[in-house]
Amino acid sequence: MLNDLLFRLRSLLRRRGIERELDDELQFHLTHQMEKEIQTGLPPAEARRRAQIAFGGLAQTKDECRDARGTAALEAAVQDIRYALRGLRKSPAFTSVAILSLALGIGANIAIFTLMDAVMLKSLPVKAPDQLYRLAPAGQSGILEGSNFRLYEMMRDQSRSFSGVLLYNRNQWQVGLAGEVKLVYGQCVTGNYYCLLGVQAAAGRTLTEEDDRTPGGNPVAVLSHSYWERRFGRDPSVLGRTITINQVPFTIVGVTPAEFFGLEMGRSMDITVPMSMHPQVGSGMDLKTGRGFTGAFIPIARLKSGVSPDQATAEANVLFEHFLAAWMPGMSVTSRRDKLQRCELIPARNGLMKLRAQFSKPLQILMGMVGLVLIIACANVANLLLVRARARQREIALRLAIGASRARVVRQLVTESILLATLGGAIGLALALWGARVLVGFLPQDTVPLTFSFTPDIRVLVFTAVISLLTGVLFGIMPALRVTQWDLNSSLKSGARLGASGATLAARSVGRAMVVCQIALSLVLLAGAVMFARSLHNLRQVDLGFHPERVFLTKIDFNGSPYKGPTISNLNHQLLEQLKSIPGVHAAGFSVASPFDGTWEGENIFVPGFERADGRGDEIRANWVSPGYLTTMGIQLVAGRDFSPADERGNQQVAIVTENLAHHYFPGQNPIGRRVGLQRQLKTGPTEIVGVIRDFKSEGVAGDNAHMVYMPAAQETIPHSRATFALRSDRAANDLAAAVLAQFQGQRLGVPIVTMKTMRRQLDESVARERLLATLSSFFGLLALLLASAGIYGVMAYGVTRRVNEIGIRMALGARVADVLWLVLREALALVALGVAVGLPVALIASQAANQMLFRLTAEDPATLAAAAGILGVAAVFAAYLPARRAALVNPVTALHYE
Amino acid sequence: MAQDRIELPQGTLDLLILKTVALGPQHGWAISERIQQISRDVLQVQQGSLYPALHRLERRGWIKASWGNSDNNRKAKFYEMTRSGRKQLEAEAATWRKLAVAVSQVLETV
């Protein structure tokens, strides 16, 4: 097969040489044959004649030889491409409009596909990723994120279905290098990790079973390639150097390959150390006690070949029962039912990813939308091609008349359209690669930026090629078939005359049908865009209970630092004073949890008269803040007072509660001065309510307002290791970031900054999915509208040109400018009406897919559809106005002479 | 004599060419002469039709071509057997024999 192709290509490239050789070869034969005849005594002339008869037709033989060499088809293709290129160069306006439409349509598809590929499709760059499964306990409340060390051991040692089971434990570490401390994602892994995954080191070595043998005995670390690049500039002498992880020195022994980021997609595990070092660098918790399930503790199993996932699941569940009997005796019925009912095998070939669950559906919806955009673009180009074919009708008729086969002419025309699609695809790919980077900006950024490799992998390239080719054939074949079908004779006879021949009418009706189609599809897209935009708008209208604008957040984490207990609280208050001194800062405060950062904790409240049968308190949300925090965040104090520096350890415990909490427990009474019990403060006595604030959105814009209690950070019994400083200032975020950084570096605390961002950004990230959908669907809706408008314009302009004569007669008979304008506009509006009628049911059905993603809105909302139809109507009037204007300016005398 | 000549059945030309080339490198004219001689002028091969077949066999990789000098010292294109050509010849010859046997059996039994 390959041989054959190479042979053909060689023949094609050496065409001239091959032609000469063929001549020589056949001539040699004829000469030989002639000599043979001469030897029998014939005169040379007769000998030549006989030789030629015996040989047969020379030209025909040559043709057959060329065919036999397989170059004929390729040669024709090259010819077609040359011809098409020449044709496209001759009409630059048509070519650029067509290529631009296609580039936008194809580019949008590639961009969304690239994102989908990165989030949903890409396999881990490891050996046989299809065999990898996450072992996850599950129950009625869903799948547990983490696991248990004893369960892992049991699976590893007793299962016959797996060729191996590994365990990793992700962490955030304070990593010190040359006196500078930074927060880095890292993991502890079992010794079989790299071996089981089949990942080799890019430099040095990976970790082995040997490294995992002695507890605490092997302080060795392997770096990810990207970390090696970022922090060490790919310095090869890094091997053997020492870094500190949470103040414990580790020796670097290797670097992993560039494409391997660990088992979690979008989050790079930058440093890997053996599990035997977990007690030294872990959270201080002993993982081997057997009890409890830790979230960051994940077992991955590799299935033996020949074992089905069902068999393995069955066996894993038997072991799971053994585990529960041995290590979890006396477990309550509810936790058994809700959390530990069974053990599931979850395919891990794409890696694990939190974002996937959240973004899969939106990406699928967007993929559907860009598919529609591409169809609209195709319809446009097909329309352009039809008009163009009409202009070339005579040329085509002539070619058919002088003996070109219909198939040949069709192939020629389709070559042109595939060429257009290929050029469009190439530009689209460039647009998409740039666009995909912009799209990642929509995904919520974690502490460490998301790391996706956007190098277009083979899947993206194949997708581009296939979609371009399909597009080319899709919009090319129909016009090509129609043009070659038109009646030869009438085309030739009618010549350049622009009469209403059958062909013209046919072309117009096909053109209109396509415009109706475009409008119907645009309606679907616009309805989607309006729907998602309204949903986002509804989210934005929600009363948050605070003012997010002009607030700048800086989050720090003392975890792993030498500071403990009250020191942390004191340091935080000192830092706050430093930050307040930054010029341009109007107000400042800090808190443990910050809105929408996902770190809110539960607290139990005990109020006299609200005792529960089980003796536990009601669960509410809690936060610990500094004085001035409420003002900084713009949280309105409804009654009482803010915390003051006097509210410190040893003094009366105080709290500020939300209005809804006050209404719930003290209906119709003044809550100020009332005392409640709070779980964490029970030892220090009851807490006095000193203030009431407005209800507050803490965990999500779409969520309900929880009952909340705020306590002074200074009164915390065991201070949290994290704190988020909030600054209210009119200064630009970048300026503030630099100023804050300078203050922190001046302190030389060795405590890293986890994140710095504006409150607005944190808010946007919490509605990332809605923003992605609203922004992109609006963009694609606009694109569809633009393309459809171009379609309407094209068909109308073409129609006016055809009807110059008729319009001239109408005007001669007394039609006014307004009448003519209306004549054209009416037709455009009729097309829109028809398109909307076709599109409405489609839009209604399609929007069901998004119903669950809407906020305070249903998919069937009539206002959405009315808005979409209205936008289309206005766009159609604009698009048809220019041709209508031209029609109205027709001079009847000229028009009638035109004929 | 002429009426005794038969047209070559479809696909057999390739077999004959392969068989001829198997005897050693030959140029086109020699191949055509050889086929005529061996078949004792029974088979009618239009000389011209030989060449497309040669080029097709070359494309398949069953024979390969090179330029050399003929007996009377003129440049000629010689064809020679390749290894895969030899395999092809064996396979095709076997098929042909089977077919011939089968057809003659059918003819005799009737």
Query: Is residue A466 domain-shared with residue A602, that is, in the same domain?
Result: no
Rg from Cα positions in chain B: 15
- Helix, strand, coil percentages in chain A from 3-state DSSP, rounded to 5: 55, 15, 25
Condensed to tens digits (0 to 9), the pLDDT of residues A307-317 reads: 999 999 999 99
Partners of A3 on chain B (C-beta within 8 Å) are 61
Q: Which residues of A touch B70 (CB under 8 A)?
A: 28, 32
User: How far is A319 from chain B, CA to nearest CA, in Å?
Assistant: 58
Q: Are A274 and A189 in contact (CB under 8 A)?
A: yes
Torsion of CA A571, A576, A582, A584, to 10 degrees: 170
Q: At residue A508, does pLDDT exceed 90?
A: no
Higher local confidence (pLDDT), A517 or A278? A517
Q: Which residue has the tokens 């992880």?
A: A245
Alpha helices by DSSP H, listed for A563-716, are 566-580, 629-633, 659-665
Q: Print the domain residue range for B67.
A: 2-109
Residue A206 contacts residue A200 (beta carbons within 8 Å)? yes
**B14 in contact with A, Cβ within 8 Å:** no
Structural domain includes residue A738: yes
Most confident region among A465-469, A502-506, A754-758, A778-782 by mean pLDDT:
A778-782
Residue A695: count of CB within 10 angstroms of its CB: 20
Chain A, nearest residue to B31 by Cα? A29
Number of domains in chain A: 4
Query: What is the β-pairing status of strands A180-189 and A271-274?
Result: parallel
Residue where a domain stops, chosen among A52, A69, A86: A69
**A347/A123 Cα distance (integer angstroms):** 11
Q: Identify the top-confidence range among A22-26, A32-36, A402-406, A642-646.
A: A642-646
Inform me whether the C-beta atom of residue A58 falls under 8 Å from chain B C-beta atoms: yes
What is residue B10's three-state secondary structure? Answer: coil
Q: Which tokens is A491 given? A: 């085309």
Answer whether B41 touches A (CB < 8 Å).
no
**B63-69: strand order across its sheet:** B26-27, B75-81, B63-69
Chain A (66-125) residues lying within 8 Å, Cβ to Cβ, of chain B = 67-70
How many domains would you assign to chain B? Answer: 1
- Looking at residues A555-563, what average pLDDT do you find? 78
What is the average pLDDT value for chain A, to the nearest integer?
85
**In Å, how far are A99, A268, A768 from A899, measured between CA atoms?**
35, 73, 61
Residue A565 exposure: Cα atoms within 13 Å on the Cβ side = 2
Element (H, E) at A598: none
Residues written for chain B: 110
A201 and A335 share one domain: yes
Are A488 and A403 a contacting pair, CB within 8 Å?
no
Contact of A711 with A717, CB cutoff 8 Å: no
Beta strand spans in A424-550 (E): none
As beta bridge partners, residue A590 has A725
Ranges assigned E (strand) in A3-139: 132-139
Structural domain includes residue A746: yes
Where do the H-state alpha helices sit in A542-607? 566-580
- Look at A68 and B32 and tell me if their CB atoms are within 8 Å: no
Q: Are A545 and A708 in contact (CB under 8 A)?
A: no
Same domain flag for A342 and A367: no
- Of the candidates A21, A33, A64, the beta carbon closest to that of B77 is on A21
Contact between B47 and A29 using a beta-carbon 8 Å cutoff: yes
Contact status of A33 with chain B (Cβ, < 8 Å): yes
Top-confidence range, A406-415, A445-454, A662-671 = A662-671
Beta-sheet pairing, A654-658 with A687-693: parallel
Chain B residue at shortest CA distance from A21: B77
Is the four-CA dihedral A256, A260, A263, A264 of positive or negative sign? positive
A700 and A734 in a single domain? The answer is yes
State whether A313 and A444 are in the same domain.
no
**Residue A564 pLDDT more than 90?**
no
Q: Do B48 and A4 touch (CB under 8 A)?
A: no
User: How does residue B2 score in pLDDT terms, banded at 50, 70 and 90?
Assistant: very low
Q: What is the nearest CA distance from B98 to chain A, expressed in angstroms?
A: 28
Q: Which residue of A has its CA nearest to B71?
A: A32
Best probe of the B interface among A2, A19, A20, A25, by most B CBs < 10 A, is A25
Closest-CA distance of chain B to residue A9, Å: 11
Count of CB atoms within 10 A of residue A92's CB? 9
Is A491 in the same domain as A612?
no
Of A316, A349, A382, the position where a domain reaches its end is A349
Cβ of B48 within 8 Å of Cβ of A69? The answer is: no
pLDDT, residue A759, reads 92
Nearest CA-CA distance, residue B45 and chain A, Å: 9
Tokens found for residue A448? 């460490």
Return the number of other C-beta atoms located less than 10 Å from residue B106's C-beta.
9
Cβ distance A231 to A225 under 8 Å? Answer: no
CA distance A68 to chain B (A): 5
Helix (H, G, I), strand (E, B) or coil at A403: coil
Tell me, yes or no, whether A525 lies in a domain. Answer: yes
The CA distance from B60 to the nearest CA of chain A, in Å, is 6
User: What per-residue confidence (pLDDT) applies to A450?
Assistant: 52
B58 vs A contacts (CB less than 8 Å): 7, 69
Q: How far is CA A81 from CA A84, A85, A235, B94, in A?
A: 5, 6, 50, 45
Which chain A residues have a beta carbon less than 8 Å from that of B46?
Answer: 54-56
Report the residue of chain A nearest B68, measured CA to CA. A25
Q: What is the DSSP string of A141-204?
A: TEE-S-B-HHHHHHHHHH-SSEEEEEEEEEEEEEEEETTEEEEEEEEEE-TTHHHHHTPPPSEE
Q: Is A342 in the same domain as A366? A: no
| Smallest CA–CA distance from A29 into chain B, residue | B29
Residues A600, A697 within the same domain? yes
CATH number of the domain to which B52 belongs: 1.10.10.10
Is pTM beyond 0.90? Reply is no
Q: How far is CA A461 from CA A119, A365, A455, A633, A638, in A?
A: 17, 22, 10, 48, 60
Residue A514 near residue A384 (C-beta atoms within 8 A): no
pLDDT at A480: 82
Q: How far is A4 from chain B (nearest CA, A)?
A: 6
List for chain B the helix, strand, coil content (%; round to 5).
60, 20, 20
- Using CB atoms and an 8 Å cut-off, which of residues 43-62 of chain B contact chain A? 46-49, 51-53, 55-56, 58-61
Exposure string of A96-110, with b = 16+ CB inside 10 Å and e = fewer, is ebbbbbbbbbbbbbb
By C-alpha distance, the chain A residue nearest B49 is: A61
Pick the residue with more confidence: A299 or A505? A299
Instruction: State which amino acid sits at residue A239.
Output: L
Please, are residues A728 and A585 in contact by the beta-carbon 8 Å criterion?
A: yes
The pLDDT assigned to A403 comes to 74
Judging contacts by C-beta atoms under 8 Å, the chain A residues touching residue B56 are 68-69
pLDDT above 90 for A398: no
pLDDT greater than 80 at residue A549: yes
For residue A854, the model assigns a pLDDT of: 87
Q: Is there a single domain that holds both residue A599 and residue A638?
A: yes
- Does A648 fall in a domain? yes
Q: Please give the Cα distance from A423 to A100 (Å, whole number).
A: 9
Return the pLDDT at B73.
80
CB atoms within 10 A of CB A832: 28
Q: Supply A48's token pair.
A: 């030549």
Interface test with A, best of B41, B51, B58, B64 (most A CBs within 10 A): B51
CA distance A613 to A203: 62
Q: Which of B48, B49, B59 sits opposite A4 (nearest CB)?
A: B59
Closest CB to B52: pick one of A24, A54, A68: A68
Per-residue pLDDT at A59 exceeds 60: yes
A746 and A845 both lie in a single domain = no
Average pLDDT on A383-408 reads: 80
Mean pLDDT of A469-477: 83
Q: CA-CA distance, A650 to A647, in Å (whole number)?
A: 9
Nearest chain A residue to B29 by CA: give it: A29
Among A349, A377, A410, where does a domain finish? A349
pLDDT surpassing 90 at residue A534: yes
- Asked if A56 is an interface residue toward chain B (Cβ–Cβ < 8 A), one would say yes
Q: Looking at the domain assignment, is residue A144 inside a domain?
A: yes
Instruction: Give the Cα-Cα-Cα angle A724, A726, A729 (nearest 5 degrees).
Output: 155
Q: Flag whether A75 is in a domain.
A: no
Q: Flag if A3 and B70 touch (Cβ within 8 Å).
A: no
- Contact, A291 vs A328, CB < 8 A? yes
Q: Do A33 and B29 touch (CB under 8 A)?
A: yes
A343: nearest Cα among A201, A514, A504, A154: A154
Q: Give how far A17 is from chain B: nearest CA, Å.
A: 13
Is residue A653 within 8 Å of residue A681, measured between CB atoms? yes
Instruction: Indicate the helix (H) or strand (E) that contains A621.
Output: strand A618-625
Q: What confidence tens digit (pLDDT) does each residue in B66-94 have? A: 888 887 788 888 999 999 989 989 998 89
Residue A691's alpha-carbon distances to A610, A636, A641, A654, in angstroms, are 21, 11, 5, 9
Confidence label for A497 from pLDDT (cuts 50, 70 and 90): very low
Decide if A209 is inside a domain.
Answer: yes
- Backbone CA torsion sign across A512, A514, A520, A525: negative
Distances from the Cα of A406 to the Cαs of A352, A396, A468, A507, A526, in angstroms? Answer: 55, 10, 24, 19, 41
Write down the pLDDT at residue A711.
94
Whether A793 and A880 have beta carbons less than 8 Å apart is answered as: yes
Which among B29, B48, B76 has CB closest to A57?
B48
Give the pLDDT confidence score for residue A279 in this predicted structure.
Answer: 80
Specify the 3-state DSSP secondary structure of A370: helix
What would the pLDDT profile of A696-712 be if each residue is shown by its tens digit? 888 888 878 889 999 99
Q: Which of A54, A65, A68 sits opposite B47 (nearest CB)?
A: A54
CA A311 to chain centre: 35
Q: Looking at the domain assignment, is residue A103 inside a domain?
A: no
Contact A389, A413 (CB under 8 A): yes
Q: Is the CB of residue A255 less than 8 Å from the CB of residue A201?
A: yes
If one compares A534 and A247, the residue with the highest pLDDT of the two is: A534
Distance CA A209, CA A199 (A): 14
Say if residue A780 is in the same domain as residue A636. no
Amino acid A684 reads T
Name A664's Cβ contacts closer than 8 Å, sequence gap at least 6.
A707
Q: What count of CB pairs under 8 Å joins A to B?
A: 68
Task: Specify whether A731 is located in the same domain as A864.
Answer: no
> Minimal Cα distance from A57: which residue of B?
B48
Contact status, residue A294 vs residue A151, Cβ threshold 8 Å: no
Chain B positions in Cβ-Cβ contact with residue A31 (cut-off 8 Å): 74
More confident residue, A660 or A171: A660
B33, B55, B74: best to mutate for the A interface, most A CBs within 10 A? B55
Contact: A56, B60; criterion CB under 8 Å = no
Q: Which has the closest alpha carbon to A674: A779, A665, A683, A682?
A: A665
Determine how β-strand A708-712 pairs with β-strand A618-625.
Answer: parallel
- pLDDT score, position A504: 59
Query: Measured over all CA atoms, what is the biggest interatomic distance in chain B, rounded to whole angstroms?
Result: 55
Terminal Cα-to-Cα distance of chain A (whole angstroms): 59
Q: Which two tokens stand for residue B39?
A: 């078949």
**Full residue range of the structural domain in which residue A16 is found:** 2-69
Chain B from 17 to 36: CB within 8 A of any A CB: 27-29, 32
